[in-house]
Amino acid sequence: DTAVSQTPKYLVTQMGNDKSIKCEQNLGHDTMYWYKQDSKKFLKIMFSYNNKELIINETVPNRFSPKSPDKAHLNLHINSLELGDSAVYFCASSQDIAGGGTQYFGPGTRLLVL
């Protein structure tokens, strides 16, 4: 029944490693997003995809590479992890691309880089 799901829920890894986070939505939405929440709870958008096409890229380091195999999935791959990448990463989806549509969020992936 989960609308937006993410795996894994927790991820602990060493600096320099490469890791991926997966996101899936079963809402039939066309648009998906990745947000980053830092240690002070501040949330900021990273990427948005519409129908598998990248439409928003908010000056994120190119160590972060999103991939959308189909419109129900948006994965996030991170190369050469750094301490500052430790955060909670949220996936979201919405129906509207340019309207005031509601975004539905996944449970988050808590990434800790040691």
Closest alpha carbon to 74 in 95, 57, 51, 58 = 51
> Quick one: which segment of 21-29, 61-69, 73-81, 106-114 binds another protein (CB under 8 A)?
106-114
Coil, helix or strand at residue 86: coil
Is residue 68 involved in binding another protein (CB under 8 A)? no
Reference 51, options 27, 68, 35; nearest CA is 68
Q: Which of 62, 55, 64, 1 is nearest to 33 (CA)?
A: 55
Q: Give yes or no for residue 42 binding another protein (CB under 8 A).
A: yes
Among 20, 57, 79, 80, binds another protein (CB under 8 A): 57
**Is 104 a binder of another protein (CB under 8 A)?**
yes
Taking CA 41 as the corner, what is the angle to CA 46 and CA 29, rounded to the nearest 5 degrees? 45
Nearer to another protein, 21 or 90 (CB): 90
Kindly list the residues in this chain that would bind another protein in the complex (CB under 8 A).
31, 33, 35, 40-45, 48, 50, 55-58, 90, 92, 94, 96-108
